[in-house]
Chains A and B, each alone.
Chain A
Amino acid sequence: MSWKEWFKERFPIDYQKFVEFNERIFIKEPIPVHMKKWFYCMGATPLILAGFQIITGILLMFYFVPSPEMAYESIRHITEDVRVGFWVRGLHRWGSNLMIIALLLHMTRVFFTRAYQKPRELNWIIGVMLFLVTMGLAFTGYSLTYNQLSYWATTVGTNLIREVPLIGKWVFLFLRGGEEVTANTLTRFYYIHVGFLPPLLIFLIALHIIILRLHGVSEPEGFPKGYYPFYPHHFYKIIIATLFLLTLMSTLTVILPPGIGVPADPTVTPAHIKPEWYFYPTYRFLKLVPLKVGIYATAAFMVAMTFWPFIEPMIAKKKETRIKTSFAVGALTLIITLALTIWETIAM
C-alpha cells in the first residue's frame, strides 16, 4: 500500500474532486490579458508583504516582552544580541513601510482605473478597511519599541484620538487602559498588534479576494479581450515579486538598519517629535487648522473616501462628467497629500 492510499483511507476526501477544484480555482484561473503588464498586477504585493510581516512578526514574538521595563531591553536584545536579530527586525520594519507604500499605490491604481465601479463597491470599502487596519498595525507596532520617539508618538497619537467627536474619549480610554500611558497601554497595544488586528487583516484579505474572484478581475477599457491561465505566467510573476521584495527589504536592512533609539522617558519630551512618515499629511494638516476643524475634516475625508463608489454616481448623470470629476478629485487628493508630506518632511 502506498503512502498515498494509506493517507486517503484516513482522510477520505474525494481526491479527484480536490484536484479539479484546485485546477479550476488556481491553476487555470482566467487572468485578463492586461494583467501581463506589471503596472496592473501589483495588487498581490501587499498580500506578499503581509505574509512576510506575519512570519517575521511571529519570530519577534519569540523574544519580545511587552512590559515597560523589558520592552526596550528586549528590542535591544533582538537587535544586538540575537543572531540575525537585526535582520528579522529590519525585515519587519521595512515590510511595514513597504506595505503602506504598496497599498497606497494599489489604491491609486484602482481609483484611476475606476475599478471600484458597480458592482464592485463593497470590495473598495473592504480595501479601505484593509488600509486602515494596516495603519493601525503600523501605529501599534511602532509604539511597542518603547523608545523616546515611539513613546511620545503613542502619547500624542492617543491624545489626538481623544478629540474625535462622540467616540473619541471612549476609544482613548480603551486604547490607553487609563488616563495615562502606562504598562496597561503597552499590553493593550501589544494585544491589538498581535492578537486583534492580524486576524482581522487576514479575514478582510480573504473577503477581498473572494469578492474579487466572484466578480473576476475588472477589465479597464482599451485592452483586447482575452484570458490566460494563472499558471505558469502569473504564478511566476508572484514568485518574482516575492524574491524582489525580500531582496529589497534585506538590502534596506543592511543599509539602514533598525535603530533602538533612547529608552522611553515619560518625564522628558524630545525636542523634535514626529510620527512615522505615513502620518505626515494628517500631522501637518492638524497643525495647520484648529484641532476640532482638523479632526472633523479628516473624518469627513475618510467617510468620503470610503463611500466614493456610491458618491461618484450621484455627481452627474453624464458618464464623461463623472469620470472627469472623479479624476480631478483623485488628482487633487494626491497633490495635497504629497504636498503635506513633503512640507512635513522638510520642516524641522
Chain B
Amino acid sequence: MDTVKAQQWLIGIFSVLLIVSLLIVAGVEMKKTRTFKPEIEIDETTAKCINCHEKKGIAVKLIDEWKESRHAVMGIGCYECHQAAEEDFDAFRCPESEFIIGKHPTPKDCNQCHEDQVKEFNNSKHAAAQIMMALKGPDRNVFQPTISTKHGCEQCHNIGNYWPDGSIGECDACHSKHRFSLKQARHPETCGECHIGPDHPHIEIYLESKHGNLYVAHKDEWDWNYPPGEPVPFSAPTCATCHMSATRTNKKSTHNVSNRLTWESQAPFSVRTQEYWGGISWQEKRANMEGVCYQCHSQSFADRYLLVADLVNLQYNEIWKATIDWMNLLKKYNVIKTDRFMYEGDFITAWPKEGYDEEVEHIAYRNWHHEGRRFRHGAEMMGADYTQWHGIWELQENLVKIIEYGAEHGVPEAKRWMNSKDPNKFIMYALYDIPGSTWGPSALMYRGQMPMDRIPNYWEIVYKNVKAAYEKGLLTDKQWALYEEIYKNKDKEIGRIYPLPELHEELLKNLNYDLKKLYPEQKLTLTPFNIPFQKGSGY
C-alpha cells in the first residue's frame, strides 16, 4: 500500500518517534553533570609574589598547588600566611621586594582563621607527640645515634612541634601545603604516613579490617570533598570518620583526635583516659565513639564488640604485670642490671634507663611498645591478625623467652617453670573472659579442651575479675549490665548445648583421611648425598 493516506500515517508515526528521540536527548541533557572550577582572582600583593616566583622558577609547583586550593578562591594569598615581623624566628627579607616573609608559617598563622581547629588540636594527644619522644624513651636518647632519628622518630613526632613563637603543632602534617585539600587529608594513607610499622601499625590494621577492605573497593565512588561538618557520606569509615568527623548524634567534627578515645592503649599500662584530653570524661568519649559505630552497626553488636576490646585492654595489663614481675625476679638474682623495670608508685615504667644491653630488656620493652600495642589496637580496630599472630602470640612467646633466659642464668623460679609439664603454666596472670563469641553463637567454637575445662571455678573467678574492673570504674554500668546478661546466658553463649550439624561427621572423617591416609601415602624416601650432616649419608 503506497497511497497518500499511508504516507500521512508514516509522517505521523515518524513525528512521534522523533518526539520520543528528542525527549531522550532532553533526558540525557538533564542528567549531564557539569563540574566547574571557580575562577581565582588574585590580589595585588599575591600577584607580585607569583609573577616574580614564576619568572625565577622558584617553588612554582607550590604556587600551582595553591591555585587549586580553596584559599586561592577566597582571596587568601601568599602574604596572609607568610607575613612576618623583623624579629620573628623565621623572618626573611625578600631580596626582590620590601616584604618580610615568614619562611615557615606555624599554627599561630593558621589560628588567624582556624581558631577552633587549633584549639582542638592543642587539647589532643597530637599536641603532646613531641614530649613523648623528646623527654622520655632511651630508645632515642640512649640507644640510637641522634642523626638516625632525625628522619626517623623526629619526622612524625614533628606533628606536635614546639615552635619558637610559642605555638604547638604542624598542620601541614595532615593538610599538605599548599593545596590543603580535604580529599587528601581525609584519606587513610595520610594518617598512615606515621601510624604505621611494628610499634603502631594502624594503617595496616585498618587495611586488613572489613572497613579498609570496603575503602579499597569503593573509594573511587566516594565524594571526598563533602562539606566539613556534615555526616560522612562514605559507605565505610576511614580513620577520620571514627576519630574526627561529624556523626548523626555528635554533629560537630573535631580536630581533637583524643575526643573519642577511652584508653591510653599506647602506654605501657592501659588506663582509662583523663578528662584533660578532650575536656570530657572517658565515659562521654565512649558515648561519642558509640555514636560513630551506631551509624552503621546495631547497638547489640557494637556494644559487645567494644566490651570485648575493653576486656582485651584489661587482660593486657595483667600480661604486662607478669612481664614486670619476671623482670624484677631476674633483677633480684642479678641476671639483669637495669633498675627501671619496676612499679613506680602504683604505675609501671617501661624503659631500661641505661639502654638496651641485654636481650630480655629488648623483649620486655617490645612487649608493650610493639607487641602489646598491636594486641590492643588490633582488638580495638578489627585487625584480627594483629590481635592474634602479631599480638598475643608474640606476647606469650616473649614471656617464655624471658623465663628461659632466667632459667639459663640460674633463677630457680624460672627453672621450675621450665621443667613444669602443667598446661596451665602459660597462664601466669589473672584472667578476664566473656562467654561466647562476638561474631555469633557457635555449636563448635568452645568444644576444645579449654582453660575453662582445666581450671576449677574458672567462670566464677573470671566473673569476679570483670566485676572488680567494673567496681574500680573501668567499665560503664551499661557494659556491666551487658556482661551480666551474657554471663547469665552462659550455656547458650558457649554453645555446647546445641547439637553439632550432620555435616560435622563427614568433615571430620575427611580431615582424618588427610591426616591418616594422605600423609603416609605421599611420603617419599629420597637418596641422600654422601656429605657430612645429611641424614642417611655414610658420614
A residues neighboring B (CB under 8 Å): 36-37, 80-81, 83-84, 86-87, 232-233, 236-237, 239-240, 243-244, 246-247, 250-251, 253-254, 257
Contacts and interface: CB of A to CB of B under 8 A. Distances in A.
Contact of A247 (B2, B7, B21, B29): B21
Interface string B158-173: 0000000000000000
Interface in B16-37: 17-18, 21-22, 24-26, 28-29, 32, 34
Nearest to B23: A250
B279 to A, nearest CB: 49
Contacts of B17: 243, 247
A250 B22 contact: yes
Nearest to B28: A254
B10 interface: yes
Nearest to B15: A243
B430 interface: no
B25 A247 contact: no
A229 to B, nearest CB: 11
Nearest to A80: B34
A240 B14 contact: yes
Given A87-B29, A236-B8, A244 B21 contact: no
B11 interface: yes
Contact of B25 (A232, A237, A239, A253): A253
Contacts of B26: 84
A253 B8 CA distance: 27
B491 to A, nearest CB: 64
Contacts of A36: 2
A84 B25 CA distance: 8
Given A236-B4, A240-B11, A81 B34 contact: yes
Interface class of chain A by DSSP: helix
Interface in B180-198: none
29 contacts: A37-B2, A84-B25, A84-B29, A86-B28, A87-B25, A87-B29, A232-B4, A232-B7, A233-B4, A233-B7, A236-B8, A236-B10, A236-B11, A237-B7, A239-B11, A240-B7, A240-B10, A240-B14, A243-B14, A243-B15, A243-B17, A244-B14, A247-B14, A250-B18, A250-B21, A250-B25, A251-B21, A254-B24, A254-B28
A238 to B, nearest CB: 10
A31 to B, nearest CB: 13
A159 to B, nearest CB: 38
B438 to A, nearest CB: 50
Contacts of A83: 29
B1 to A, nearest CB: 11
Contacts of A251: 21, 24
Interface in B319-375: none
Contacts of A232: 4, 7
B6 to A, nearest CB: 9
A228 to B, nearest CB: 10
Given A239-B11, A250-B24, 14 more contacts: A80-B34, A86-B29, A233-B4, A236-B7, A236-B8, A240-B10, A240-B11, A243-B11, A243-B15, A247-B14, A250-B22, A254-B21, A254-B24, A254-B25
B27 to A, nearest CB: 9
A243 B18 contact: yes
Contacts of A253: 25
Nearest to A38: B2
Contacts of B4: 232-233, 236
A254 B18 CA distance: 13
Contacts of B11: 236, 239-240, 243
Nearest to A37: B2
A253 B21 CA distance: 10
A251 B27 CA distance: 12
Contacts of A86: 28-29, 32
A74 to B, nearest CB: 16
A80 B26 CA distance: 14
Nearest to A90: B25
Nearest to A237: B7
Contacts of B14: 240, 243-244, 247
A231 B369 CA distance: 96
A244 B28 CA distance: 21
Nearest to B22: A250
Nearest to B25: A87
A232 B29 CA distance: 37
